[in-house]
Amino acid sequence: MNPHFSLPRSRREFLTQSGAGFGALALAAMQAETNPLAAATNSSQTPAPHHPPTAKNVIFLFMEGGPSHIDTFDPKPELNRLAGQHLPDSFGTVLTAMGEFHSPLLESKRKWKQHGECGTWVSDWLPHTAKCVDDIAVIRSCWTDGNSHSAGVCQMNTCSMLGGRPSLGSWVTYGLGTENQNLPAFVVMQDGRGSVVNGPRNWNAGFMPATYQGIHLSEGSQPIGNLNTPEGISPKVQKGKLDLLNSLNQSFANDYPQQSELEARIRSYELAFRMQAAAPEAIDLSQENESTQALYGMDQKETASYGRQCLLARRLVERGVRFVQLYHGAGSRWDAHNNIESNHTQLCKAMDKPVAGLLKDLKQRGLLDQTLVVWGGEFGRTPMSEQGNGRDHNPTGFSMWMAGGGVKGGQVIGSTDELGLRAVEDRLHVHDLHASILHLLGLSNMQLTYNYNGRPERPTINEGAFYKKLTTG
């Protein structure tokens, strides 16, 4: 007998050893379906929200690379007046990644206009989003600690610049579970032109069980890998495989009756079979009529890619997926260190109509009230120039926006200084942003805990607070 091989002594060991342990992941997922918090070790919490929620789902539109707030949602007339000059002495020493505080100020070439009944200012780069401002709360006073893309993206996803902590989507899934047992609770998508900085680290579960990590969907005809039955495998053959696996499971159940809880839990292959039935329908965009597809820009080359993702996001939250994250500009393509005019012109055009289409579609279907939509990147851009016609990273002040899910639209929250360099009024750190998102979902960032290595871990690392103006104006 091979000394390195031994028969599993329990069905749990069987699942752990089979298929590189993927059976155990399926078991954890099934446990989380009915009691998500009980699946975590040492947790005595219940899946119920801490307080009445105003949102049930989240769609996070992540502009990777850092869009320029002073060219989109935060107009600065003083910047154009001082263009070509250096920062006034009143700003003191300003540190940026490239030391660009010595560079002259770069004007914004955008044309600005007030939109909606609320009169929110939006630049001509975003004409479609501008039509939705009465449903949007623009936050002009965001700030973060990470000045590099790796640190910034990591913190915007996990509240920490260092990898290893659970992502926001993982915390939401851990705290609330799933509404659809045939689909993942946390889904991530990115456009196909590059890879997101840090990769899966942005949507992993960190020190929590892997069942809470995001499921990455790819572009193309088969977003979920191995979802479709392989060619040549008939329903009869597939049923035969399932019957064999069931007999093996039953044999172990008979030998180890003390594992009674597994008898009701271990249905991993049946769950996969249910996904094969439910997921293809969920991701089939051909079911949408031409007018809906056109609303998302799927009929135009420039907007088709992100339009498909936004439409798919609507279909997923419509079917109970809890957290959907859509990366636009994967590979830090919003990182306009030079030629910001051509860079942002192209990216805004590709993103603007799909995002506006998503907001309009959610609203007309009655889904916006329960779906929180978040837009933003890992940081903003500096008012100083880089390479003559670009802007550097700016973590000290930038804009994001939220809509739906109980957020009061038609308002502007906070402000940056007269040049858009630093947040000065109602400053919201990433910890506050995460705490606010969790609050809208009915979760307290301080009450939601996971015991790890003998200490209670919290999603915002014991910092941050819900920003009440989001709902009250």
Q: What is the pLDDT of residues 65-77, one digit of tens each?
A: 999 999 999 999 9
* Domain extent listing, the chain: 57-224+283-472
Write out the CATH class of domain 57-224+283-472.
Answer: alpha beta
* Higher-pLDDT residue of 61, 194: 61
Neighbours of 407 (CB within 10 A): 24
C-alpha angle 242/248/254, rounded to 5°?
A: 135
Long-range contacts of 460-463 (CB under 8 A, 24+ apart): 460/159, 460/431, 460/434, 460/435, 461/159, 461/160, 461/165, 461/431, 463/159, 463/429, 463/431
Percent of the chain with pLDDT over 70: 81
Q: Which of 271, 270, 274 is nearest to 242 (CA)?
A: 270
pLDDT value of residue 31: 47
Q: What is the pLDDT of residues 174-209, one digit of tens each?
A: 999 988 888 889 999 998 777 999 999 999 999 998
Please give the average per-residue pLDDT across 25-49, as a whole number.
48
Per DSSP, 429 falls in state E
* Higher-pLDDT residue of 241, 220: 241
Please give the average per-residue pLDDT across 440-462, as a whole number.
96
Q: How confident is the model at residue 228 (pLDDT cuts 50, 70, 90)?
A: low
**Listed range (223-232, 358-367, 443-452) with the worst mean pLDDT:** 223-232
Per DSSP, 199 falls in state G
Instruction: Give exposure, 445-472, as e/b (b: 16+ Cβ within 10 Å).
Output: bbebbbebeeeebbbbeeebebbebbbe
- Contact criterion met (CB below 8 Å) for 72 and 123: yes
* Higher-pLDDT residue of 44, 286: 286
Tell me which amino acid residue 34 is. T
pLDDT value of residue 7: 47
Neighbours of 257 (CB within 10 A): 8
Q: What is the pLDDT of residues 99-115, one digit of tens each?
A: 545 789 999 999 999 99
Please give the average per-residue pLDDT across 367-392, as a whole number.
97
